[in-house]
Amino acid sequence: MAKLSVKKGDNVMVISGKDKGKVGKVLKVDGDANRIYVEGINIISKSKKPRNAQDKGGIIKQEGTIHVSNVLHVCPECGDVVRVKHELRDVNGKQKSVRVCPKCGASLEEKKPSAKKAAKKAAKKKSEKSEKKED
- Contacts of 123 by beta carbon, 8 Å cutoff, 6+ apart: none
**pLDDT over 90 for what percent of the chain?**
47
pTM of the full structure: 0.72
CATH of 11-48+58-125, one of 3.40.50.150, 1.20.1250.20, 2.30.30.30, 3.40.50.970: 2.30.30.30
Task: Tell me how far the alpha carbon of residue 118 is from its chain's centroid.
Answer: 11
Helices within 1-135 (DSSP H only): 115-134
3-60 per-position pLDDT tens digit? 788 999 999 999 999 999 999 999 999 989 999 999 999 999 999 999 998 988 899 9
